[in-house]
Copies of this chain bind each other. A is one copy, B any other.
Amino acid sequence: MQQKKEIINKLRSSNLRPTKQRILIAKKLFDRKETFHFTAETLNKEINRKGQNKISLATIYNTVEAFKRAGHIREILTNNCKSYYDTNIKSHHHFYDPDSKKLTDIDYQEVIMKKIPNPPKGKKIKDLEVVISLQKK
């Protein structure tokens, strides 16, 4: 839950002018209890449904890219030619249900590794992501 003031601060703090469009998109993304997994297309539909608001698709793309650069959202791994984003910027894992094509968050501490390989020399581990694919029982 984020008030308009908080949203404006969030934008200001990342050098993004709090325009009408960015505030509206930020509300849609961040003013919710659950993590939101979305694509440019789904976000555009959410925003521009019923002709209530009107934000151009170019602005949707620009804003998503700006929010990503600012670290307010992160891009997630998928297997189709469409970029997916996640409002949960903490390290965490996912269930993936191929039937609904939906991701569900798994808290980082819900997965504990007993053994992982050493990184190649000269490299260290930045992040570790687990995707658990599901199927009907």
The size of the chain A interface, using a CB distance under 8 A, is: 40
Assess A114 versus B113: contact at CB under 8 Å? Given A75-B79, A81-B83: yes
Chain A window 50-85, contacts with chain B (Cβ cutoff 8 Å), 1 for yes, 0 for no: 000000000000000000000000011111111100
Is B82's CB under 8 angstroms from A131's CB? no
Number of copies: 2
Task: Look across to chain B and name the residue whose beta carbon is closest to the beta carbon of A110.
Answer: B117
Residues 83-137 of A at the B interface (beta carbon under 8 Å): 83, 95, 97-98, 104, 106, 110-117, 119-120, 122-137
Contact of A134 among B77, B78, B83, B123 (CB under 8 A): B123
Question: Across chains A and B, which 6 residue pairs bring their CB atoms closest together, nearest first?
Answer: A77-B77, A114-B114, A112-B115, A126-B135, A123-B134, A112-B114
